[in-house]
Amino acid sequence: MILAAVIPTLISMMISYVMTTGSMKERAVTENQNLLYQGSLNLENDLEELDRSSLIVYSDPEFFRSLTYSQEDIRASGRQSATLQTIAQSVNDIMQVYLYIPSRQESSLYAQGVVKKGTGYPLYKDTPDLENQSLQFQTPHPIHTYGFQLSHSYQPEHKVFTLYRSIERVPSTEQLGILAIDVDLTFFSRISSQLYQPDHEQLYIMNEDGMVLYSGNESVIGSRAEQSWAGRVLDSGGGQGHFEMNKHIYLYEPIAAPSGSWTIVKEIPSSYLLQSADKAALINILLLAFSLILIIGASIWVSVYVTKPIRGLVGLMSQVRSGNMTVDVQSDRKDEIGILHRRFSSMMDTINNLILREYKLKLANSNNQLRALQAQVNPHFMNNALQTIGTLALEHNMKRIYSLISALARMMRYSMYNTDKPVTLATELKHVEDYIELQKERFENQFHILYDVKDSTRELLIPKMLIQPLVENFFKHGMDPLSDQNVIGIRSGWHSGSALEITVENNGRSMPEPALMKLQDKLKEIEALDIEQLEVFEEGTSDSEGGIGLLNTLTRLKLFYRGEAGFRVDNVAEGGFRVTMRMYTGGERIESIDRG
């Protein structure tokens, strides 16, 4: 027994440790690669936004013309100051914006909320050569003031990176000015801090030359990455990947910067990834030693103290199996055998209680069926009562009241009987007309309804209660009660010769965009379900939505037409809401409705 327990356990521990470490590395690589990919996308979006902010100089004609005038021109100077302020406020992390006009040696600096101007200033010495490349990023460096005196001095260790753009007279390459945008390193840290654990991991953002633009280790920011792994990353050709070196795992992901290709690198110690596996291995060894002691003692104890009571318990189980459900399962033992006796006794009590409960459930079900039969009397009673009231109104020459009551009675009969059977489009439209008749009395002349129904579609079978709930939604959500120009339109026709298309449209209130997008996404999810999944979905939603919700309408359409149906909701450009349904009735297979 000892050998049978120890040898498989040791082999299992070794295999488990090897497989666990390998699996943990693979999972960690996959998760971190996805995390770096998302981080690179976010950084690319921020860099594109920063690049767009520098392109404001080309989208502002007045600013472009002001470059040909001296700062002494108040209008030109004001236009330049306003543009610099706009650029500085376009991205939260921009510290200052510098503009230099070489032809007149004029400088402008927007910093600390004010614009400084000067004439006769030479171009700042650290400005890169923009002759062959109109856009460049300068690696992180201590922030400077471009020769201006500011009201508040910057901290010497405060670092920024700078975007330089040459302002050229398009389409020529004549340089009109140089724009420099100093960006705080929080531009990187805001996203990068979410990509690694500073206590255990390290993160680097490098350009194509191996210069570190950002890192959790501030001492290497602005310098070249000299570590051995950096050369391997730069030699990878700008793709994504990972490798293991010096007991560390390195993952890298390219970043498409406006002026070149950058790379984000994450360094993870292997010991940090495998610390849980090592801890699990140690725990397994301790458990194995403890198990050996227990196995030796249990082997002796089981053979002497356990076998006989277990045989007695097996005998009691045999009696239950033969049908004796009242066996006496009592034991005074305090050990596991006693627990088995008590659990078996509890199980017998539970079985007996379940038998009694099942009997009560059957009785309750019979009572509920009786109540359901009694409840069916109520709709018939209401229908007969309405007919009686209508007859009385007609006897007193109140034709309008009789007309309204008759419409209401027809609606009740339509909704009460054969709800699962299809009806013709003409029958459904007659039900809509009865509903509109009642609403006209309520809202008088506040709305109009327009029908454009092709005669060839009137006898086609459609699911019952398909159009009226869509019209009802207009009175619930879309109608303007202060207007008398509310219009509802119902159209039917053919699409591609074989697809019945029904449109319900109004000019009322449109659905808010967030709610519309959420509804469209949910409709897409339903369209992707197969028939069996749709049946489950319908059973789970019809009760809560009363069978008239938009989601339920799509479900009913796809079930009725066995998936050959499309459903589209959108806002009308001039105001209002539109629902378009397309059903396959024969001929060529229809395609899903374009969602625009």
Residues 297-321: pLDDT tens digits?
Answer: 777 776 666 677 777 778 778 877 7
Q: Is the pLDDT of residue 453 over 90?
A: yes
What is the per-residue pLDDT for 153? Answer: 85
pLDDT tier for residue 569 given thresholds of 50, 70 and 90: very high
Q: 139's torsion region: left (phi>0), alpha (psi -120 to 50) or beta?
A: beta
Q: Is the pLDDT of residue 201 over 50?
A: yes
Q: Is the pLDDT of residue 97 over 80?
A: yes
Share of the chain above pLDDT 70, in %: 85
Please compute the mean of the pLDDT values over residues 498-513 and round it to a whole number: 91
What is the per-residue pLDDT for 377? Answer: 43
| Residues 519 and 579: beta-carbon distance below 8 Å | no
Q: Is the pLDDT of residue 590 over 60?
A: no
What is the per-residue pLDDT for 264? Answer: 93
Residue with tokens 């109109």: 134
- Among 28-32, 128-132, 151-155, 590-594, the minimum mean pLDDT is found in 590-594
Residue 114: count other Cβ atoms within 10 Å of its Cβ. 11
Domain ranges (residues) in the chain: 1-197+273-305, 311-364, 449-584
Please compute the mean of the pLDDT values over residues 267-282 and round it to a whole number: 77
- Going through 219-318 in order, the beta strands assigned E by DSSP cover 241-245, 248-257, 260-269
Q: Is the dihedral of CA 238, 243, 246, 249 positive or negative?
A: positive
What is the per-residue pLDDT for 265? Answer: 93
pLDDT digits (tens, 9 = 90+) for 246-265: 888 999 999 988 878 899 99
What is the per-residue pLDDT for 468? Answer: 87
- Closest-CA residue to 415 (of 469, 480, 493, 370): 469
What is the per-residue pLDDT for 586? Answer: 57
Q: Is the pLDDT of residue 368 over 80?
A: no
What is the per-residue pLDDT for 418? Answer: 60
Q: Is the pLDDT of residue 104 over 80?
A: yes
Q: Is the dihedral of CA 59, 62, 63, 66 positive or negative?
A: positive
Give start and end residues of each alpha helix (H) in 97-242: 186-192, 228-234
Q: Is the pLDDT of residue 183 over 90?
A: yes
What is the per-residue pLDDT for 591? Answer: 41
pLDDT tier for residue 178 given thresholds of 50, 70 and 90: very high
SS3 570: strand
Q: Is the pLDDT of residue 74 over 80?
A: yes
Please compute the mean of the pLDDT values over residues 194-223 and round it to a whole number: 89
What is the per-residue pLDDT for 459? Answer: 92
Distance CA 368, CA 383 (A): 24
What is the per-residue pLDDT for 595? Answer: 39
Output 160 or 258, whichever has higher pLDDT: 160
Please compute the mean of the pLDDT values over residues 271-292 and round it to a whole number: 74
**449-584 CATH:** 3.30.565.10
What is the per-residue pLDDT for 336? Answer: 77
Residue type, 355: I
| HSE-CB for 154 with a 13 A CA cutoff | 20
Give the per-residue SS3 of 88-139.
HHHCCCEEEEEEEECCCCEEEEEECCEEEEEECCCCCCCCCCCCCCCEEEEE
Which DSSP symbol is given to 25? H
- Among 33-42, 80-89, 546-555, the minimum mean pLDDT is found in 546-555
Q: Is the pLDDT of residue 373 over 70?
A: no
Report the DSSP pairing between strands 499-506 and 565-571: unpaired
Residues near 416 by beta carbon (within 8 Å), at least 6 away in sequence = 379, 383
SS3 456: helix
Distance CA 418, CA 485 (A): 37
Q: Is the pLDDT of residue 184 over 90?
A: yes
SS3 19: helix
What is the per-residue pLDDT for 109? Answer: 92
- Closest-CA residue to 99 (of 118, 113, 112, 114): 118
- Among 175-189, 288-302, 376-390, the minimum mean pLDDT is found in 376-390
CATH top-level class for 1-197+273-305?
alpha beta
CA dihedral 586, 588, 592, 594 (to 10 degrees): -120
| Residues 494 and 502: beta-carbon distance below 8 Å | no
Report phi then psi at 93, rounded to 5.
-90, 5
Residues near 404 by beta carbon (within 8 Å), at least 6 away in sequence = 437, 438, 441
Q: Is the pLDDT of residue 64 over 70?
A: yes
pLDDT digits (tens, 9 = 90+) for 381-433: 556 556 666 676 666 777 777 777 777 777 777 776 666 688 899 999 998 99
Q: What is the mean pLDDT of the chain?
A: 81
Identify the CATH assignment for 311-364 out of 1.10.8, 3.30.70, 3.40.50, 1.20.120.
Answer: 1.10.8
| Residues 225 and 210: beta-carbon distance below 8 Å | yes
What distance, in Å, lies between the first and last C-alpha atoms of the chain? 71
| Residues 186 and 158: beta-carbon distance below 8 Å | no
pTM, 2 dp: 0.47
Output 538 or 75, whichever has higher pLDDT: 75
